[in-house]
Every structure is written in C-alpha cells, then in structure tokens.
Amino acid sequence: MILVAGSANIDFVTQVAHIPAPGETVLGGDYRLSPGGKGANQAVACARAGQPGAAGVTFLGALGHDAFADTLRASLAGSGVVDRTLLLDRPTGAAFISVSGAGENAITVASGANAALLPEHLPSLQGVTHMVLQLEVPPQTVDAYAAAARAAGAQVILNAAPMRALSADLLRNVDLLVVNEGELRQLLSGSGLEAGGPDLHAQLAAALDLGPSAVLVTLGERGSLAARRVEGSLSLTEVPPHPVRVVDTTGAGDTYVGVLVSALSEGLPLERAMRRASVGAALACTREGAQPSMPLRAEIEAAMSSP
C-alpha cells in the first residue's frame, strides 16, 4: 500500500497574460475552483496511474469543516484514493494560482488546516510499502512520519517542495529525494554547501552526501535526472522529456511524483518509472488545473506506446 501524507488545498486559479512582477497589478480572467494541494495531488496522480486490483493509495491530510473540504474529499474518492483526512477546526487550505498564457504559474498558499497535521495523527503503517511526503505540512510532522516509515520498513519518498531547511535525520531516512533545479540549489545552499556551479552532476553528488539514498531532479522541458552511489561511484539515470503542447503546468510536478511512486510500487526499475512519470507529467500539462488534469493509467500507456 502507498500512503501519501501531506497537504490538501482548494485552488483558486486565474488566467493572466503574464505573471505579475512585484508591485504590479494585472487583470485576469474569471477564476475557477479546483481541488489541489501537493499531498492530495500526488495521491490522486498515484491512484489514477495505478494498476487495477493493486494494493491501493491512502491519503492522510487535514481539512476544515467547510464546503471546500467536501470538494477535496469528492476528488479523492472519485480517483479511488482511500480517504484518511482529518476534519479540524481550521479553514481548509487554499492556493491562489496565476497561470500565464505560456502555461507558467505563480502560487501563494494559505496553509489553514494543513498546519495542524501533527505527528500523533499518523495511523498504523502495517501494510505500507511506500510513504510519500512533501513540505506543505509542519516540519516536525514530516520528520516524524519519515522516521516511522523507515522503522516500519517502508520506502520513503520525499518531494522537498516548497523547499525549507531539512534536518540531517530526515534526509538520512529518505530513500528517494525528488526536487526541481531551484529546490536542489536551495537544499545545497541551506546546508552550507556550494551549489556546484552549473555542474548538475556535482550538485547531485553533493545532495547525496546529505544522506538520501537517491536524488532525482526534474528539469522541465529537459527531462529528469537521478543519481545514486553504486559501489562508491556516482550512477546517473537520465530520461528525456515527453514533448507536448503546454496549456497549464499546474500540478505537473505532483503528477510526476505520483506516477513515479505508482511505477516503483509495481517493481519497475528507476529508469522505467521515470519514463512513465515523464509521460504522465507531460499529459497533465496539456489540460487545465491540478487534479482534473492528471491522466489515467490507460492514457499514459497509450502515450508511451504511440510513435
């Protein structure tokens, strides 16, 4: 079983001609509401990409007693995610997203109930093979969940977004750290290390020295690159992007993580899992929204088999 623990937000999404600069006001189109949040997004992507009849995906998060919570829970259920959300006396988290004509986005998150997800809320990990975490919930919660998962023998996948300072204990408990280029640079500088200049391989090697068993960096239109140490030597796995016409990149990174973990849980080697994740994330970019854009397994398989 895959347990995804993290944030759930309602997204307020507005189309704009360009992302506003500091101090700039821009007029946008009508806003739309969409279920989101990095944790819930990754759970939905993972479930949609999963194999029929597999052990399944469970989501642990915190919501408020409001209509937004109903929207989020309906999206989880509609995607086949087992819902372990807590209803707390805090508003459901919200994200305010501007999407440009080029498909790029800028996001501000109001944490709400996500900030009240605590270590003691973790259920039994019996049967959990993979734990997926992000950084939109309290640091002590992420640290505790990773330690518990490692002790239970589960694989720990950490998507270090939005980036913050990470404890040495947390990083040592991580089997696979997933970041983008900016987050990788922040991780290294925040740990007092040189970013390695433009040499991405050196940056990945430095990130491995912090403790995780493997580090994967997503590179947008340049694909993705993973690094591990095999018998003391740096071993790299590189996967090219899957070309599409981009409409909206919101949720693409979360789709990548969800599809990746789904593939890994089926026993696929890392390179094949990365290829499947690359296709899934690309398909998500061809549609609007976060969870509504996430592809089904059949769509991913069809795209992978097409010339």
Determine whether 51 is exposed, middle or buried from the number of CB atoms within 10 Å of its CB (0-12, 13-18, 19+): exposed
73 annotated ligand binder: no
Q: Compute the average pLDDT of residues 252-262.
A: 97
Check whether 14 is labelled as a binding-site residue: no
Q: What percent of the chain has pLDDT over 90?
A: 79
State which CATH number among 3.40.1190.20, 3.40.190.10, 3.90.1150.10, 3.50.50.60 fits the domain covering 2-7+37-90+112-305.
3.40.1190.20
54-57 long-range contacts (CB < 8 A, ≥24 apart) are: 54/265, 54/266, 55/1, 55/2, 55/127, 55/129, 55/265, 56/1, 56/2, 56/80, 56/82, 57/1, 57/2, 57/3, 57/4, 57/81, 57/82, 57/262
Q: What is the dihedral of CA 147, 148, 150, 152, to 10 degrees?
A: 160
Residue 149 pLDDT > 80: yes
Rounded Cα–Cα distance for residues 302 and 283 (Å)? 11
pLDDT higher than 80, residue 267: yes
Q: Was 23 annotated as part of a binding site?
A: no
Mean pLDDT of the chain: 93
Structural domain spans, the chain = 2-7+37-90+112-305
Catalytic residue among 70, 175, 209, 254: 254
- Residue 74, C-beta contacts closer than 8 angstroms, at least 6 positions apart: 35
pLDDT of residue 102: 81
253 annotated as a binding-site residue: yes
Please give the span between the terminal C-alpha atoms of the chain, in angstroms, as a whole number: 33
For the stretch 173-212, pLDDT in tens is: 999 999 999 999 999 987 666 555 568 999 999 999 999 9
Omega cis (within 30) before 35: no
Q: Is 209 a catalytic residue?
A: no
Q: Are 157 and 132 in contact (CB under 8 A)?
A: yes
**Structure confidence by residue, pLDDT tens digits, 57-103:** 999 999 999 999 999 999 999 999 999 999 999 999 998 989 888 87
Evaluated on CA atoms 182, 187, 190, 191, the torsion sign reads: negative
Query: Annotation-wise, does 89 bind a ligand?
Result: no
Whole-number Å distance between alpha carbons of 148 and 162: 22
Q: What is the largest CA-CA distance in the chain?
A: 56
pLDDT bin (cut points 50, 70, 90) of residue 307 is low
- Per-residue pLDDT averaged across 223-237, rounded? 93
pLDDT at 193: 63
